């Protein structure tokens, strides 16, 4: 009986948290730029970027939350416009939560415009629109009424009435971004410095949500703020990269802050280009009141792969034994972001 009660309680906990309809998050927020701010679309060293994200969370206490995401973004008009360019992006994710397999599928299109104020500073504005579909499966829920005194019998009536069904809605978001960048003095000096910070508001239209009792309520808008710095230590292979991300959606708040320490393992061949840049970044992040997150990022020319793992430090750690979420990211940028803009008028400050 106790086991069935625990299973039911966990299912309801997962179900209840999902109904609040808070947005997904990634511990590797720096590898989900369009999720953090629509104005990030197209603002990077390169012409085209594609990123895959995968997250599995809380597998030690039941069916894990799993999130799959894909984004692709790029820019155009850089060569035709002297002090401005446009960006575009596509971001899609699927999130499947817990015993009820509460599923959210989100597909968004993004447009951005960037104005170069001077050689070092630029501002970007981004808008985003999308379509969201949500569904739920009640078949995996277990209730005390389905315990016959000896074992769980799924054929027994649960006695529960749940009115929440599948529903869809359209969504709208917008963001602002500031970027500052100082290129390295020479190809090998490694003294480049860049910074970026942005503000965004998601669910501006506050789409309606279907509740368990059949009533409609509005999804809270989500305010996000992020910032990051790249500081290269002159005439060395080292760089510091602090980052932070802050979310607020209704009463829910989240702050993720930390830093990478990057080491350039191999520099690109100056003459032949045969040997490509290789770097490794080791870091740690802290999501306040929730998790400590060690992270590793490997970058080889156009490609990167990132790993991170959430170690619970909240009260939930009593149930998870400190096990949180594993996350992996894959990124591809073309042309090579290390050498992008070298010897041309293209801006290469968006580290």
Give the model confidence (pLDDT) of 23-43 as tens digits.
Answer: 788 999 999 999 999 999 999
pLDDT at 1: 38
Q: Provide, rounded to the nearest whole percent, the portion of the chain with pLDDT above 70.
A: 72
- State the average pLDDT for the chain: 82
Q: Per-residue pLDDT for 76 more than 80?
A: yes
Q: 155 or 245, which is more confident?
A: 245
Which candidate, 46, 48, 41, 131, places its Cα nearest to that of 89? Answer: 41
Direct distance between the N- and C-terminal alpha carbons of the chain, in angstroms, rounded to an integer = 56
**What distance in Å separates the CA atoms of residue 248 and residue 245, rounded to the nearest whole number?**
10
**What distance in Å separates the CA atoms of residue 79 and residue 313, rounded to the nearest whole number?**
49
pLDDT at 16: 40
| Contact yes or no for 112/28 (Cβ under 8 A) | no
The domain covering 2-334 belongs, at the CATH homologous superfamily level, to monomeric porin ompg (2.40.160.40)
User: Stretch 265-287: mean pLDDT, rounded?
Assistant: 78
Banded model confidence at residue 4, pLDDT cuts 50, 70, 90: very low
Integer Rg of the chain from CA: 23
Least trusted range by pLDDT, from 120-124, 185-189, 244-248: 185-189
Among 48-52, 62-66, 95-99, 345-349, name the most confident range: 48-52
Banded model confidence at residue 49, pLDDT cuts 50, 70, 90: very high
């Amino acid at each position: 009986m106790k086991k069935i009660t625990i299973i039911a309680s966990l299912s309801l906990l997962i179900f209840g948290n999902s109904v609040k309809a808070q947005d997904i998050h990634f511990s590797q927020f720096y590898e989900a730029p369009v999720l953090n701010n629509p104005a990030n679309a197209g603002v990077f060293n390169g012409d085209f970027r594609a990123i895959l994200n995968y997250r599995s969370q809380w597998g030690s206490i039941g069916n894990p939350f799993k999130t799959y995401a894909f984004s692709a973004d790029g820019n155009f008009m850089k060569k035709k416009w002297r002090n401005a360019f446009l960006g575009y992006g596509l971001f899609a994710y699927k999130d499947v939560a817990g015993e009820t397999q509460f599923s959210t599928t989100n597909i968004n299109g993004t447009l951005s415009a960037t104005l170069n104020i001077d050689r070092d500073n630029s501002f970007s504005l981004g808008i985003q629109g999308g379509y969201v579909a949500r569904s739920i499966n009640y078949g995996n829920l277990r209730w005390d009424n389905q315990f016959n005194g000896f074992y769980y019998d799924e054929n027994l009536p649960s006695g529960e009435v749940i009115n929440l069904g599948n529903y869809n809605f359209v969504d709208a978001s917008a963001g602002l971004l500031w970027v500052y960048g100082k290129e390295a003095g020479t190809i090998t000096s490694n003294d480049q410095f860049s910074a970026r910070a942005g503000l965004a508001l998601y669910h501006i239209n506050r789409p309606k949500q279907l509740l368990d009792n059949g009533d409609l309520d509005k999804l809270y808008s989500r305010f996000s703020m992020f910032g990051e710095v790249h500081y290269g230590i002159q005439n060395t292979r080292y760089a510091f990269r602090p980052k932070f991300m802050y979310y607020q959606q209704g009463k829910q708040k989240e702050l993720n802050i930390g830093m990478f320490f990057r080491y350039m393992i191999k520099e690109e061949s100056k003459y032949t280009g045969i040997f490509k840049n290789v770097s490794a970044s080791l870091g740690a992040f802290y999501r306040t009141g929730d998790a400590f997150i060690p992270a590793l990022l490997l970058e080889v020319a156009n490609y990167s792969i990132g790993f991170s793992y959430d170690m619970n430090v909240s009260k939930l750690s009593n149930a998870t034994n400190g096990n949180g979420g594993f996350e992996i990211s894959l990124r591809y940028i073309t042309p090579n972001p290390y050498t992008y803009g070298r010897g041309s008028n293209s801006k290469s400050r968006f580290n």
